[in-house]
Amino acid sequence: MVAFVVCPLVLLWFACTPSGGGSSGSTSSSSGGVDAGSMDAGDTMDAGSCATTVTLETEPTCNACLEQHCCTTSTNCQDTPDCVAYKACADACTTPACRQQCQTMHPDGVWLWSGMITCQRNNCGAQCGVTPGACGGIGLTTTQCNTCVRAQCCTQATACATSDACNAFIYQCIDLNGCGGTEDACGRACQLEYPDAFDVFGALQSCARTSCPVDCAGL
């Protein structure tokens, strides 16, 4: 079964390892293919005042940007000790082996961090000293599917990676809870929790299915 990721490993959602600045770490997902199903409604704007004072980063301008553009994903991470612990562990690492150990020590924190860092890279690069990956860092785990999606659906992937709600839906709900898709009980609960992700996530998955039916079969 095919699913979305951030740095291609095995057709699942996941986040890449940044080379420096902001948060550090590398993740791989355990979720199955995600079925967009009825995800065809909802507002995709991630605007509004953040009820949380974000303190995840040392740079005040970075935290201010996270409050403005990544309030949900940042709050979810900051409010969860395992995410804060994973971030501190990964930030201190200088090798992939070290970051892998952090993942083992803080498995739940990985997914919460993944949503936050993907949103951060795409909205707060200058303020936080990070840069987004190709097409927002969103990719798929098989080489052929990832290549096709980046060639055919880069706009949709970037839109999802820039959306606070889309990142929260993918990483901090679907992946964190190990949902098998959006149409099982777990996935439907995620839809209800993050309705603002509906349009932007649905557009990405629809593009992948339409433009890459062979390379992304099973998505």
Looking at the structure of the chain, the number of domains it has is 1
> Residue 20: what pLDDT?
38
Query: Does 189 fall in a domain?
Result: yes
Show the domain range for 12: 4-211
> Residue 161: what pLDDT?
95
Query: Does 201 fall in a domain?
Result: yes
Collapse the DSSP code of 5 into the 3-class scheme (helix H, G, I; strand E, B; otherwise coil) and give the result: strand
Q: Which long-range contacts (CB under 8 A, 24 or more apart) does 184-191 make?
A: 187/34, 187/35, 187/37, 191/38, 191/39
> Residue 29: what pLDDT?
36
Q: In this structure, which amino acid lies at residue 136?
A: G
Query: Does 89 fall in a domain?
Result: yes
Instruction: Sort 186 into a burial class: Cβ within 10 Å, 0-12 / 13-18 / 19+.
Output: middle
How far is the C-alpha of 23 from the C-alpha of 66, rounded, in Å?
12
Query: Does 195 fall in a domain?
Result: yes
> Residue 141: what pLDDT?
66
Query: Does 158 fall in a domain?
Result: yes
How far is the C-alpha of 115 from the C-alpha of 37, rounded, in Å?
22
Tens digit of pLDDT at every position of the chain (219 positions): 555 544 322 234 444 333 334 444 333 333 333 333 444 433 333 445 798 899 999 999 999 999 999 999 999 999 999 999 999 999 999 999 999 999 999 998 999 999 999 999 999 999 999 988 889 987 676 889 889 999 999 999 999 999 999 999 989 998 899 888 777 899 899 999 999 998 999 999 899 999 999 998 877
In terms of Cα–Cα distance, which of 162, 157, 204, 161 is closest to 182? 204
